[in-house]
Structure 1
Amino acid sequence: MKIAIIGSRGYPYVYSGYETLVKELSERLVERGIEVTVYCHKALFQDRPKQVNGVKLVYLPSIETKVLSQFIHSFFSMIHACFSKVDVIFVVNSANGPFGVISKIFGKKTAINVDGMEWLRPKWKGLGARYFYFASWLSTKLYDQIINDSEEMRNIYLKLFKRDSIVIAYGATIRQTQDASKIKKWGLEPSGYYLIVGRLIPDNNADLIIKGFMQSKSLRKLVIIGDVPYKDEYSENIKLMGKEDSRVLFTGYVTDPEELAELYHNAYVYLHGHEFGGTNPTMLKAMAYGSCILALNTKFNQEMLQGGKFGLFFEKQPGSVCEVIENMEGHPSLAQAMKESSVDGINEKYSWDYVTNRYIQVFEQLM
C-alpha cells in the first residue's frame, strides 16, 4: 500500500498539531510496511534528503505568505500526487477542500482530516471565513472519507454539511519528569508558575488568561510558551500587556521537546484557552505529562476532560479565570491530586499506535 500525505508543512518539521500527526503517523505506517510519501514546503528545508526514517519526501515550492503559502503548496502537491502511483492521498486541513476536484478527475482515493471550525477563528475575517466554510463544505462533497478528531466535531459536520465522518483523535505519549533542572534557564522552580502553551492568536485566548491572572493575588509566575511566525498586532499587544506585571514571562517558542516536557511537568497549573477545534494536541500533552488542567469551558474541552473528570473549567471572562486561579492557590492538595489523575485521561483512543491502526483501516477500506 502506498500513501501520499499533503497539506502540512512537511516531515520531520513539527510546528503544529498537523505536523505532529504527520510525523507520528507516517513513521508508524512505515514500520508496518506501508510506503509513505510526505509533501514538504521547499522553503522550510535547507537540507532536502529524499528519505528520512523510511519516509519518502517530495519538496515543492510555494509563495511564502501568511495566507497563500499552504494553499498554493497543496495545489501543486495534489497534482504531483495524482500523477504518482500512490493508492490513497491523505489530506490534512479543510482549506484544501477544493483540491478534491483534482483527485476526482484522476480517480484517486482520498481521505481528509478536516480539523476544526476554521471559519469561526477571529484571524479569518470576511472573505477568509467564507472561504473556509465553503472549503469545508466542499471537503464533504469531494473526498471519499471525512475524518474528524472528536465526537463533538463529527456532530457539527453532520449538522452543518449533512455528511458523517470517522472520528480518529490525535495521540499522545505518556512521559514522567526526568530532569526538573531544565526549567532553571528561565528562572523557574517546580510548582512556581502557571503555564500557557500555544500560538498567540485570538482564539487561544491568551489575553483573557493573562488579564485574569493579573487580577489574582498569586505570587507565582505566569509562563507563556509560543508566538506567531509573523508580525502581528494581536501578539504584540499581548506582549505589551504582559510587561505591566513582573510575574508574566514570555519564553517565545521552545523547540527542545525535553525542555517543553519539563515545563509541563513542573507547572503548578496548566491553563488552556483554546476555543475552536476538536481534540487539541497541546492539552493532550498536558494530560500525558501529568498537568493540573484548567480549561476554557467549551464542548470540545469538556469532551477531552470527560466533563471535569480530568480537569476544571473557567468561563470566557477574566473574572472567571481569576476565580479559578484563586481557588487553586488556596488548595494545593487539589492541584496535586489533579496532576496525579490527569494522565489517566490518556486512554486507548489517544494512543498513537491505536490512531495509526484506525488510519490503516480507513486506507484499506478505501482501496
Structure 2
Amino acid sequence: MICVTGLRGFPHVMGGIESHCEELLPRIKALWPDHRSVVLGRAPYLPAAHNEHRGVEIIGIPCPRSQHLEAIVSTFLAVLSARKRGADLVHIHAIGPGLLAPFAKLLGLKVIVTHHGTDYHRAKWGKVARTALRAGEWLALNFADRVIAVSPSLATQLKRRFPARAQRISYIPNGTSDLPGDADPDLVLERIGVERGGYLLAVARLVPEKGLHDLIDALHASRSTTRLVIAGAADHESDYARELMARAGDRVIFAGVQSRATLKCLYENCALFVMPSHHEGLPIAALEAASCGAPMLLSDIPANLDIGLEPRNYFPVGDVAALTELLDTDRAAFRIDSDTVRARFSWDRAAEDTLAVYRSALAPGRAKSRASGLPGTVEG
C-alpha cells in the first residue's frame, strides 16, 4: 500500500499539488494495478469521509481549517494512519508537511517527499512559518528515502545545497493535461460574461506571490479595453484578497474556482493567458494553458523559465511598466508552440518515473515488495 499526504484531496479541490496528484496517482495505479493507492487528505475540503477517484482511495483526515495548522496536523495524523493501515511507503507532498519525514521514518515507513517549490519565499508567511518551512525542507532532504523535485532549476538548487543527498534527488516535472471537454464554450463564456478572444485570463489563488496585483495595476495603466478574468479564490479569508477585489474595478471578473472543463474553455478562448507570479514550483496552470494553445505571457522567475517558451513570452517579474507595455502589444506576438511544450511535459512519463522512484525506495525490502505485487522490483 502507498499512502499519499500533504494535499487537501481531489477531485474538484483547488491547488497545484491537488491537480498534480489528481493527474499522477491514477496513472501510477494503472501502471501498477495490484497496489492499493490511498490519499490521506484533509476532511474539511472533501465531500465525503471516504471516496474513490479512478482507482485511488481518498480518505479525509480530520484537521482544523487553518492556514497555519491544517497542513502539519493533517500530515501528522495521516502518517499515524498510514502506519496503522500497514502502508509500505508514505509519499509526502510539499516541504511544510515534510517536517513529518523523520516521524514517518521512526514509525518504520519508507518515505518519498515531492518538493513543489521553496514555499518559504511566499509573501504570505511570517518569520516563524518561513523558519518552519526551511526546517521542513532540511528534514525532508535528510530523512526521506528519495526526494522528487518538480522543476530542473529546483533539482539543481537542491543538489547544490545538499550534495551528500544528491543521488537521492530526482527531477520529475509536472505534465500538460488533456482537460475534459464536456462543457459548452458558448454557455461557459456567457455565464462568465466574456466573448471568445475578448479577455485576458489568469488562473491562480488570491495570494500575494501570484502577483495578481501587478497584473491588475498593469491592466489599468494600459490602453487596452480588454477585460481580465481571474479564475481562482483564496484558501482562507485574507486582507490581501479583499484588497485585491477592492482595487480591481469593473474590468476585472473574479470567476472563483472553476471545474477543469470550464478552465479548458477559458484557456482555449482567451486573448492572452498571463501568469505574473513571484513564486511557483512548476506551474500546472501554465502547462494547462500551453496544452490548450493559449497565447502566453509569464513572469521570468526560474520555474516559469523552466517551461522553455521563447524570450518574447516572458517579462521581468514585478515590473508593472514592462507588463503594461506588453499588454498593449499585438497578442499574436505571444503565441506558443503547444506541441513542443506537450512533448516536454508528460504526465504518463511522470507516472513511470515516479513508479521507478517508489521501486527504488522499496527495493531493500524486496521480499515484502514482491508480496505486494510491485512490478519490476530491483534486486538489492
Deviations 1:280-307 (A, max 9, x none): 1111111111111111111221111345
Cα distance in 1 for residues equivalent to 2:225 and 2:60: 49
- From 339, 348, 354, give the equivalent of 2:349: 354
Matching residue's letter, 2:140:
S
Q: 1:187 — aligned with what?
A: 193
Count of equivalent residues: 355
| 1:6-155 aligned within 5 A | 6-32=5-31, 33=33, 34-49=35-50, 51-155=52-156
Q: What's the CA shift for 1:47?
A: 2.6
Does the aligned pair in 2 maintain the 1:152–1:278 contact within 8 Å?
no
- From 198, 209, 212, give the equivalent of 1:206: 212
Counterpart of 2:140 in 1: which secondary structure? helix
Cα distance in 2 for residues equivalent to 1:347 and 1:132: 33
Once the two structures are overlaid, the 10-residue window that deviates more, 350-359 or 55-64, is: 55-64
Does the aligned pair in 2 maintain the 1:294–1:314 contact within 8 Å?
no
Does the aligned pair in 1 maintain the 2:280–2:304 contact within 8 Å?
no
Identity %: 21
Once the two structures are overlaid, the 10-residue window that deviates more, 115-124 or 173-182, is: 173-182
Does the aligned pair in 1 maintain the 2:7–2:18 contact within 8 Å?
yes
Counterpart of 2:74 in 1: which secondary structure? helix
Give the structure-1-normalised TM-score: 0.91
Q: What's the CA shift for 1:13?
A: 4.7
Q: 1:287 — aligned with what?
A: 290
Counterpart of 2:96 in 1: which secondary structure? helix
Flag structure 1 segments of 5+ consecutive residues without an equivalent.
none
- From 239, 246, 259, give the equivalent of 1:233: 239
Deviations 1:248-297 (A, max 9, x none): 2222222x222211111111111101222331111111111111111111
Cα distance in 1 for residues equivalent to 2:58 and 2:184: 34
- From 162, 169, 176, give the equivalent of 1:172: 176
Flag structure 2 segments of 5+ consecutive residues without an equivalent.
363-380
Counterpart of 2:240 in 1: which secondary structure? helix
Q: 1:217 — aligned with what?
A: 223
Cα distance in 2 for residues equivalent to 1:364 and 1:326: 51
Does the aligned pair in 1 maintain the 2:48–2:60 contact within 8 Å?
no
- From 332, 338, 344, give the equivalent of 2:340: 344
Q: 2:161 — aligned with what?
A: 160
Counterpart of 2:64 in 1: which secondary structure? coil
Cα distance in 1 for residues equivalent to 2:172 and 2:133: 21
Matching residue's letter, 2:322:
S
Matching residue's letter, 2:271:
Y
Give the structure-2-normalised TM-score: 0.88
Once the two structures are overlaid, the 10-residue window that deviates more, 73-82 or 38-47, is: 38-47
Q: 1:304 — aligned with what?
A: 307
Deviations 1:48-75 (A, max 9, x none): 3354433233332112212101210100
Q: 2:272 — aligned with what?
A: 269
Counterpart of 1:300 in 2: which secondary structure? helix
Counterpart of 1:217 in 2: which secondary structure? coil
Q: 2:252 — aligned with what?
A: 248
Cα distance in 2 for residues equivalent to 1:321 and 1:134: 35
Counterpart of 1:139 in 2: which secondary structure? helix
Counterpart of 1:304 in 2: which secondary structure? coil
Q: 1:160 to 1:291 in 2, by over 3 A?
A: same
Cα distance in 2 for residues equivalent to 1:122 and 1:45: 27
**RMSD over aligned Cα, in angstroms?**
2.0
Cα distance in 2 for residues equivalent to 1:56 and 1:271: 35
